[in-house]
Amino acid sequence: MSVSTLPVSARPQFPQGLNSVIPPSICCHVTPETSWGAGDAFECNQLAVVHHVATEMDYCAAHWKVVGRG
């Protein structure tokens, strides 16, 4: 006998168990300016795959390695 532990959705057109899907976010890393006032800082804009608990920010795989090093 099998027992289901997934919650039942009130909307039958929505797949079971996916009621709390978190929408994708963008990497929060900003590359700093090369020198003060240069204006060449830029945001990553890649899909975030890791959530950094200490800072509550999301990062792509490449920038997670940078943040993880401290």
What's the pLDDT tens digit per position in 5-18? 656 656 666 555 55
The pTM of this model reads: 0.56
Q: Which residue has the higher pLDDT, 12 or 29?
A: 29
Structure token digits, residue 7: 């919650």
Contact (Cβ atoms closer than 8 angstroms) between residue 63 and residue 44: yes
Structure token digits, residue 21: 């899907």
Structure token digits, residue 22: 């978190």
* Angstrom distance (rounded) from CA 60 to CA 25: 9
Question: Which residues contact residue 39 at a Cβ distance below 8 angstroms, ignoring those fewer than 6 apart?
Answer: 33
- Report which secondary-structure segment, H or E, holds 11: none
The pLDDT of residue 26 is 92
